[in-house]
Amino acid sequence: MARRLKNLRIRVEFFYSKTCPHCLPTKRILYELVKDLEKTIEIEEIDAWSEKGEPLAQKYGVQVVPTIVVDGVKRAEGVLSREQLISVMKEALNQQGH
């Protein structure tokens, strides 16, 4: 199963705010996962309340940060542990593999 997942890529839109105390730790974990999951994750950081980010935040119904959208589907909101983030990413990879 790991070999099949190795070649898959997922796109993460990471919605954050410059004033969010939980966003930076979540961001660090996401970038660690890029290494752990053999760079199968492409991350775009989006300031949810910026001029560019606000329309995207509205599109996905982002009301709190951090929010994680994977391949166009809102997957997580708020503070998540490393284990929870791994689960979110692996679930997305598994769904992409089917």
Per residue in 50-93, pLDDT (tens digit) is 999 999 999 999 999 999 999 999 999 999 999 999 898 888 87
Q: Domain of residue 49: give its range.
A: 30-71
Residue 77 located in a structural domain: no
| CA atoms within 13 Å, Cβ hemisphere of 78 | 0
Residue 8 located in a structural domain: no
Residue 36 located in a structural domain: yes
pLDDT value at residue 39:
59
Of 7 and 51, the one with more pLDDT: 51
Residue 82 located in a structural domain: no
Please tell me the pTM assigned to this model.
0.85
- CA dist 32 and 88 (Å) reads 14
- Rounded to the nearest integer, the mean pLDDT of the chain is 86
- CA dist 19 and 86 (Å) reads 25
Does the pLDDT value for residue 98 go beyond 60? Answer: no
Residue 47 located in a structural domain: yes
The structural domain count of the chain equals 1
Residue 61 located in a structural domain: yes
Residue 5 located in a structural domain: no
